[in-house]
Amino acid sequence: MADTGATAGAVQLRLEHVSRHFMVGGQQVRALEDVSLTIEAGAFVAIMGSSGSGKSTLMNILGLLDRPTRGTYHLLGHDVAQQSDNQRAHTRGRSLGFIFQNFHLLPRTSALDNVALPLMYQGVGRQQRQRRAQAALERVNLAHRAKHTPSELSGGQQQRVAIARALINHPQVVFADEPTGNLDSATTQEMMALFAALNLEGITLVMVTHELEVAQCAKRLLTFRDGRLVADAPAPPKEATP
């Protein structure tokens, strides 16, 4: 499925009437309610909403980490709601990339090995893993820190390692969950520039954030409230900063 939907503008992700309900303490929680949307190849989408609005649940479903209670989800032309766990793991490993708020790097493991981690599950040999990880680190301007462990890196550097890891298998879609939540504003700017560059290269970006400034870097803004999609519009332009 590697090239399915790679053409810019073609639909890559399509949700139809998707709901996600949980049982928490005997009570039903409607985290997502009847959400339908499509995201095209090459899009840069920001998802906003207060906590509990369902934006994280949506991300988890889009990223194949969770299954909808109702509705259908087509990713890269496949009805993934019906796929087995192993098929979904396969798709996650080869076509998707993940970036998390708290980076999720393996402690006491070098930046290089952290970046190379996804390739392990594709059976890529050690030499090629290292070569590709080095190239991915170069792409985020961190080649000189390859041998350092996360505790020896700044927050921004750790997030760049995480981005390099997300990019290593040339994903078609990258999901970022509050990627700048733990970063200062200067580093946030730097990160957004990097995202914009990646998007220009044709990678589809889906990003959850609660900072409007960050959301403004995207091209499209989805707003969620109480599990429902309440607004779907082009991201508002940035106000001119003095």
Partner 1 sequence: MTFWMAWGTALSMVLRNRLRSALAMVGIVIAVVAVVGTVAVGQGAQARVAQDMATLGQNLMFISAVSGQKGGTRTGAGTGTAVTLADVDAIARELPHLAQHVAPMVRASGQVVFSHNNWATTLVGTTPGYFAARGWAFDEGQSFSDEDVAQARKRCVLGANVHKQLFGAKPSLLKTVRVRGMMCQVVGVLEPKGATGFGPDQDDMLFMPITTLNRRIVPLKQNLGVTAMVKAVSGDLAATTEEEVGKLLRQRHRLAPGQADDFSIFNLSELQKSAERQARTLSLLLSGVAGISLMVGAIGIANVMLVAVTERTREIGLRMALGARSQDILVQFLLEALSLSLLGALLGLTMGSAGAWALSRWTTWPAVLNPQASLWAVAAAVLAGVGAGLYPARRAARLDPITALRYD
Between vectors from CA 13 to CA 34 and to CA 5, what angle results, nearest 5°?
A: 160
List the one residue out of 83, 106, 98 whose CA is nearest residue 158. Answer: 106
Contact flag: residue 86 with partner 1 (CB under 8 A): yes
User: Residue 136 corresponds to which tokens in the numbers above?
Assistant: 């991915």
* Residues from 148 through 207 that contact partner 1 (CB under 8 A): 165, 169
> Can you name the residues that pair with 39 across neighbouring β-strands?
13
| Residue of 5, 42, 54, 118 that binds partner 1 (CB under 8 A) | 118
The residue (of 91 and 235) whose beta carbon lies closer to partner 1 is: 91
The residue (of 93 and 155) whose beta carbon lies closer to partner 1 is: 93
Task: Report the distance separating Cα 104 and Cα 11, nearest Å.
Answer: 30
What is the number of other CB atoms lying within 10 angstroms of the CB of residue 18? 25
List the one residue out of 205, 214, 212 whose CA is nearest residue 98. Answer: 205
Please state the closest distance from residue 78 (CB atom) to partner 1, in A. 16
Task: Report the distance separating Cα 223 and Cα 53, nearest Å.
Answer: 9
Candidates 1-9, 88-96, 192-200, 210-218 — which segment interacts with partner 1 by CB under 8 A? 88-96
| Residue of 3, 26, 51, 85 that binds partner 1 (CB under 8 A) | 85
| Residue of 60, 69, 130, 216 that binds partner 1 (CB under 8 A) | 60
| Residue of 25, 26, 51, 123 that binds partner 1 (CB under 8 A) | 123
Residues of this chain that interact with partner 1 (CB under 8 A) are 60, 63, 65-66, 85-86, 89-90, 92-94, 98, 100, 104, 106, 108, 117-118, 120-123, 126, 165, 169
